């Protein structure tokens, strides 16, 4: 096995509390970021369409053309789908570029699929949201290393707003 | 004299006349996205425009809301984004991406990226108020999200991200303080927007740095070629550089531009709220002005602006008011006394190239 995101922070953000382990029979949806192709070519194209001195400036690609360029290889698509179906994933849906796959699994299936995960329900944040996350590092079979960039829905909590109300007196003191 | 930032203060400062509005005859469009699980209510926008929109032609409702909206309380951020995007980019079709009600195991920002990869027809300009410390995110995640921004740039979408509200940021790495860059602000494939204040908070004057304005150098992404010259110039000429141990001078430097981020009036849950501050406010203002420029480009038969940075740096910030006074916050220690980078002539890591002077920026970007 290997850890796709060993450096992802996995601590509970301030103001969030755990409501305990999620029922193993509950269903959750996870998003798999599949490895893309031709990224160097994509970078060159971005440079070409964004540089005013380039003859190709402003000649943008359609979504379908971007998809044609970067879609995962057939091997990646086949390997990931086989792995997910074998684990009991269902109701998977992809996007036009085919480089994201969102599937539904039972919690017990997800915890088997991603060794190390332990799903808890948390509540918190400015909007008192509820999320299901795992604060334990997850692993993937080594065979998936060339095919999956990361799995979304495990570690990252919704962001909090950084807007502030600053009455004038406070600002005046600060401007100096 | 004014008692805080309203659309007419914004339009006056950035030289938008009553004629500088969308024509209503093109396929031009703009969008704002926030991931705070906040609701947005059209009734707040209508009330806001009733109070503050009298001097310019505007739309009083959004064209498209992505994400279920409920009867719950509206959030200030969701209200602010729309109200100022539609005040600067007035009379232009506007989408709102505000996604409460998603499944508990999903990541809101990731769901927005999936939307970008699944919709052929999207607005040209997207303003996004979201950011996390680079050090809290995995490199696999940041590299992949960066690729998603490349995909958007190849399609000619303009993505504007708030630079953050903690100045240079600060954290301790093996006992030593360092600045704390923010992502996606540090992605080389987005345009990052910092914040300014009026020199006199009650008058429309020239602008100085808003001390919260996020800015600095990425520890993950190398400096893109389009900004090498501008950043080298800053590092060579700035009279008040923090010690080099606090930042990675070879990283992608941000922000790229700025706008007012201090003392906004917002209407949320039908209540006018004063003194709201943050780069979440400056970002939709700058985005709305780019939408106006797209309007003229489309009417001229030209393509929308797309990924702006290469052109912005090539033109050395022409069409922007250069902000040269003030510094943003950073580490509160003996060495820095809370002061991070300071603004200066030309590009700087506090306000980028500066704030929009619409008629001059329009002329520059129509060429």
Q: What is the DSSP letter of B245?
A: G
B173-190: average pLDDT = 97
Cβ atoms of B98 and B74 within 8 Å: the answer is: no
Cβ separation of A163 and B165 shorter than 8 Å? yes
Chain-centroid distance, C-alpha B160:
5
In contact, A153 and A28? CB cutoff 8 Å: yes
Residues of A in contact with B107 (CB under 8 A): 31, 152-153, 156, 158
Tokens of B14: 């950035």
The yes-or-no verdict on residue A175 having pLDDT over 70 is: no
Inform me whether the pLDDT recorded for A172 exceeds 50: no
| B184 prior amide bond cis, ω within 30 | yes
- List the single range of A144-148, B38-42, B83-87, B317-321 with lowest mean pLDDT: B38-42
Indicate the Cα dihedral angle B95, B96, B101, B107, nearest 10°.
Answer: 100
A169 band by pLDDT with thresholds 50, 70 and 90: low
A114 touches A138 (CB < 8 A): yes
- Cα–Cα distance between B83 and B281 in angstroms, integer? 10
Q: For residues A14-43, b (16+ Cβ closer than 10 Å) or e, as one string?
A: eebeeeeebeeebbbbbbbbbbbeebeebb
* Phi and psi angles of residue B252, each rounded to the nearest 5 degrees, phi first: -60, 125
pLDDT for B253: 98
Radius of gyration over alpha carbons of chain B, in Å? 19
Q: Which residue has the tokens 């179906």?
A: A85
For residue B16, pLDDT beyond 90:
yes
B334 and B345 Cβ atoms separated by less than 8 Å = no
Q: Residue A161 pLDDT > 80, yes or no?
A: no
How much is the pLDDT for A163?
78
Cβ atoms B125, B33 nearer than 8 A? no
Q: Which of B36, B113, B208 sits opposite A158 (nearest CB)?
A: B36
Smallest Cα distance from A78 to chain B, Å: 20
Mean pLDDT of chain A: 92
A101-110, B58-67, B354-363: which range is least confident on average?
A: B58-67
Strand partners, A29: A104
Q: Rounded to whole angstroms, what are the CA distances from B180 to A15, B145, B184, B200, B248?
A: 22, 19, 13, 30, 10
Q: Of A168-172, B140-144, B244-248, B292-296, which range is least confident?
A: A168-172
∠B323-B325-B328 over CA atoms, to 5°? 95
Rounded to 5°, angle at Cα A144 from A139 and A149: 75
Active site residue B132: no
Determine which of B138, B219, B271, B337 to mutate to test the interface with A (most A C-beta atoms within 10 Å): B138
The one catalytic residue among B20, B44, B47, B81: B81
- Reported ipTM: the value is 0.95
Tell me the pLDDT tens digit for each residue of A109-126. 999 999 999 999 999 987
Taking residues B322-348, what's their average pLDDT?
97
**Count of residues making up chain A:** 176
pLDDT tens-digit series, residues A3-44: 999 999 999 999 999 999 999 999 999 999 999 999 999 999
Which tens digits make up the pLDDT trace of B67-116?
777 667 888 988 999 999 999 999 999 999 987 556 788 898 999 999 99
pLDDT, average across residues A155-164: 82
pLDDT at A65 over 50: yes
Is residue A171 less than 8 Å (CB to CB) from chain B? yes
- The pLDDT assigned to A158 comes to 86
Burial class (CB in 10 A: 0-12, 13-18, 19+), A154: buried
Measured N-to-C along each axis, helices A63-70 and A39-50 cross at an angle, to the nearest 10 degrees, of 150
**Helix, coil or strand: residue B203:** coil
In this prediction, residue A168 has a pLDDT band, given cuts at 50, 70 and 90, of: low
Q: Which among B274, B310, B168, B248 has a CA at the least distance from the CA of A56?
A: B310
Report the share of chain B in percent with pLDDT over 90: 90
Q: Residue B102: what pLDDT?
A: 67
Tokens representing B203 are: 């008058």
**Tokens 């052929």 belong to residue:** B120
Which of residues A169 and A105 earns the better pLDDT score? A105
B271 pLDDT higher than 70: yes
Q: What residues of chain A, 136 to 155, have a C-beta less than 8 Å from chain B? A: 149-150, 152-153
| DSSP E strand stretches across chain A | 17-21, 27-34, 90-94, 100-106, 119-124, 129-134, 148-152, 164-165
Cα gap A117→A110, rounded to integer Å = 8
pLDDT value of residue A122: 95
pLDDT digits (tens, 9 = 90+) for A23-33: 999 999 999 99
Residue B39: the pLDDT is 82
Contact B154, B219 (CB under 8 A): no
**Distance, in angstroms, between B39 CA and closest chain A CA?**
10
For residues B257-286, average pLDDT: 97
What is the Cα–Cα distance from B353 to B215, expressed in whole angstroms?
12
- The pLDDT of B128-155, averaged and rounded, is 97
Q: Do A58 and B310 touch (CB under 8 A)?
A: no
Nearest to B152 by CA among B185, B114, B194, B192: B114
Write out chain B residues lying below 8 Å of A161, CB-based. Answer: 36, 38, 75-77, 129, 278, 280
Q: β-strand B257-260 against A129-134: which pairing, if any?
A: unpaired
Cα separation, B227 vs B254, whole angstroms: 10
pLDDT of B73 reads 82
């Amino acid at each position: 096995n290997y850890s796709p995101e060993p450096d992802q922070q996995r601590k509970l953000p301030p103001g969030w509390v755990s409501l305990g382990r999620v029922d193993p029979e509950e269903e959750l949806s996870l998003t798999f970021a599949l490895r893309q192709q031709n990224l160097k070519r994509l970078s060159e194209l971005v440079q070409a369409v964004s540089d005013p001195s380039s003859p190709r400036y402003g000649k943008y690609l359609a979504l379908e053309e971007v998809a044609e360029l970067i879609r995962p290889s057939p091997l990646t698509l086949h390997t990931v789908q086989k792995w997910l179906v074998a684990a009991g994933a269902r109701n998977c849906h992809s996007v036009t570029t085919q480089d994201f796959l969102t599937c539904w699994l039972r919690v017990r299936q997800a915890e088997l699929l991603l060794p190390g995960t332990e799903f808890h329900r948390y509540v918190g944040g400015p909007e008192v949201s509820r999320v299901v996350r795992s604060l334990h590092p997850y692993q993937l079979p080594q065979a998936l290393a060339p095919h999956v960039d990361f799995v979304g829905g495990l570690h990252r909590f919704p962001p909090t707003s950084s807007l502030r109300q600053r009455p004038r007196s406070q600002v005046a003191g600060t401007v100096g | 004299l004014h008692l805080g930032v309203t659309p007419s203060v914004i339009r006056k400062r950035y030289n938008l006349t009553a004629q500088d509005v969308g024509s209503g005859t093109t396929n031009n469009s703009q969008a704002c996205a926030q991931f705070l699980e906040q609701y947005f209510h059209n009734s707040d926008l209508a009330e806001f425009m009733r109070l503050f929109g009298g001097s310019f032609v505007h739309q009083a409702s959004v064209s498209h809301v992505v994400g279920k909206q409920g009867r719950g309380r509206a959030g200030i951020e969701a209200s602010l984004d729309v109200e100022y995007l539609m005040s600067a980019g007035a009379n232009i079709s506007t989408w709102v991406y505000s996604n409460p009600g998603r499944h508990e195991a999903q990541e809101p920002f990731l769901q927005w990226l999936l939307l970008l990869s699944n919709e052929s027809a999207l607005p040209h300009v997207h303003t996004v108020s979201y950011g996390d410390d680079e050090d809290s995110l995995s490199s696999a995640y940041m590299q992949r999200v960066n690729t998603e921004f490349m995909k958007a740039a190849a399609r000619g979408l303009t993505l504007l991200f708030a630079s953050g509200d903690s100045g240079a940021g600060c954290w301790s790495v093996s006992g030593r303080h360092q600045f704390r860059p923010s992502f996606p602000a540090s992605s080389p494939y987005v345009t990052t927007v910092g914040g300014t204040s009026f020199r006199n908070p009650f008058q429309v004057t020239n602008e100085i740095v808003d001390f919260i304005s996020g800015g600095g150098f990425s520890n993950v992404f190398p400096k893109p070629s389009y900004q090498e010259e501008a950043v080298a110039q800053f590092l060579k000429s700035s009279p008040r550089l923090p010690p080099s141990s606090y930042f990675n001078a070879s990283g992608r430097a941000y922000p790229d531009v700025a706008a007012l981020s201090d003392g906004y009036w917002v209407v949320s849950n039908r209540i006018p709220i004063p003194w709201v501050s943050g780069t979440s406010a400056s970002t939709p203002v700058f985005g709305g002005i780019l939408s106006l420029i797209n309007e003229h480009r489309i009417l001229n038969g030209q393509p929308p602006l797309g990924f702006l940075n290469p052109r912005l740096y090539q033109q050395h910030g022409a069409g922007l008011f250069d902000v040269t006074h003030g510094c943003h916050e950073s580490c509160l220690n003996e060495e820095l006394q809370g002061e991070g980078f300071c603004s200066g002539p030309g590009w700087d890591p506090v306000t980028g190239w500066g704030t929009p002077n619409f008629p001059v920026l329009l002329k520059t970007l129509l060429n």
